[in-house]
A and B are shown apart, each in its own frame.
Chain A
Amino acid sequence: MKLPSAQTTWRQPIFVPRAVKKALAGVVITVCLAAQLYAILRPSGARWWPFVDYPMYSRSYSEGATFRVRELRVRTCEEKPRVWKVWPRTIGYQSWRYLGELSSIAADHPVARTYRSVLSRLVSAHVTPRPCALQVWERAVTVTREGVDVSSVRQPRWRPLREWRVDEPDSVRVLTRL
């Protein structure tokens, strides 16, 4: 009688009873569906990612709704101060978090101090030449019954809202009241 070689034996699939395989598949199905349902019914952001809810763009708006977008600018303290925009990517941000934090700073939310502090630290580390102040600027466009006025988008009017010194996140100055 010829015995199977070691290699042939290694290649033999491990026998698992079909019922056990079905039970294991059942566990995967149950866990995935339960996790997805939980993520939908108890939304908690990315906590259980990739099981997430899908609430994007779910708020509704009506006539007169104003879209506001903010950006971070920095200023030098030379005799002729220079001001320029800081792109979120430059300081390690992705766009939505960046916009959210700027909105909080513009609205003087209690958490704004923390955000000013983090932004100051990141700007100090990654922006050259090193600026002496950070500013939040805003532009706004309104939805009317006729739609959006294209010229208001093409020729945006920015206005400065808040400014603080890069080394002192508490030194916030109100440039324009909301």
Chain B
Amino acid sequence: MRRLITALDRYWFAPASLRDLALVRILAFGTQTLFFLLFPGGYLRSLPDQIHQAQVGTPLYQPIAALKVLLLPWGPWGEVQPSATFLTVTFGVAVVAGVLATIGLYARATMLCAAAANTLLVAHYYSYGEFHHAEALMMIALNVLAVAPSTQVWSVDAARRRRRARGAPSGPSAPADDYESSVFARWPLRLMQWLLALGYLSAAGSKLYYGGLGWVNGYTLTYHFLSEAVRSNRETALFLASLPPWTHIVPSIFALLFELTFVVAVLVPRTAWLYVVAGATFHLAVYATMRFAFFQTIVLYCVFVESLRLYWPKALRSPLRRSGWARVGAPGRAGNTAGAG
């Protein structure tokens, strides 16, 4: 038992780079606030969509559990429907708190506010009998990042702490953000890696369970292209649907294998870059052909940042890696392994 606990402790709480965690915070809160929330008129549950839904769809209102929980302070369980004013204020909170969380100012409070406001908005939009999957993992990520030491570095709060510390006498109470790594910097990223892998496993498992191997026969993908072409008048989807089904066999196999084996990116960090590139290509191709927008998932690939830093192919190295950031948090090379949690 002790060995199991030690192994789990090593797996989840081995020292990791605080900069990696900060980068994920900036990308997650930044994109959710500045792009996904404000994206006009569509996938992103913009304010006009939210208000329209609340005003017109009252008879269809079936609040989901997450919304009921978040609305508990405003009334009995499940009996509150957000008004247009309430949604407008929540939207404002999501934007302001999201910006502050991104730059890391009053970060603990603003991250929690931004995570709650975003979760409430998306949960509200999904409380009219229909829900989608693109935001689910991002909402979990925002909430997890809000309780993790995501602003120990690369944040206004960290800069202010450093400035204060320079004026204060040195001693054991020196601020922890002088450290580059923390034992609490790894678990949020690992957790999100596993949630991504479980999501893909669910997708692959469903295809095999409900569709069987017939899912890769080419006709299935043709049918889905056709459905998008008809429902949304998409020329690209129509063109692809007009091709002989056998031409879709290879992409179908690729999609199924990618989803089925994504967990390898978690278990074998050396392969993460391959899955990140393949995944981004996969989701962008799906968007280009069928307009299924899983941009949040692409953003969340940043939780593999440590694996990417350490094992990104030499031929594709970026200036960041050449600058030496890659060494931070590398096994046996971490600058300081003291916790900063």
Contacts and interface: CB of A to CB of B under 8 A. Distances in A.
A22 B207 CA distance: 37
A92 B130 CA distance: 11
A139 interface: yes
Interface string B120-153: 0011001011110101110110001001100000
B66 A49 contact: yes
A18 B229 contact: no
Given A40-B198, A143-B223, A50 B66 contact: yes
A9 to B, nearest CB: 12
Contact of B60 (A25, A61, A93): A93
A160 to B, nearest CB: 18
Given A58-B211, A61-B219, A153 B64 contact: no
A35 to B, nearest CB: 9
Interface string A45-79: 11111111111111111110101010000000000
Contacts of B55: 92
B73 interface: no
Interface stretch (A94-102, A104-112, A168-176): A94-102
Given A62-B214, A122-B59, A147-B243, A49 B191 contact: no
Contacts of B199: 36, 54
B324 to A, nearest CB: 29
Interface of B: 9, 12-13, 52-53, 55-60, 64-66, 119, 122-123, 126, 128-131, 133, 135-137, 139-140, 144, 147-148, 164, 173, 183-184, 187, 191, 194-195, 198-203, 205-207, 209-212, 214-215, 217, 219-220, 222-227, 229-231, 238, 241-245, 339, 341
Interface of A: 11-12, 16, 18, 21-22, 25-26, 28-29, 32-33, 36-37, 40, 45-63, 65, 67, 69, 89-97, 99, 118, 121-122, 126, 139, 141, 143, 145-150, 153, 156
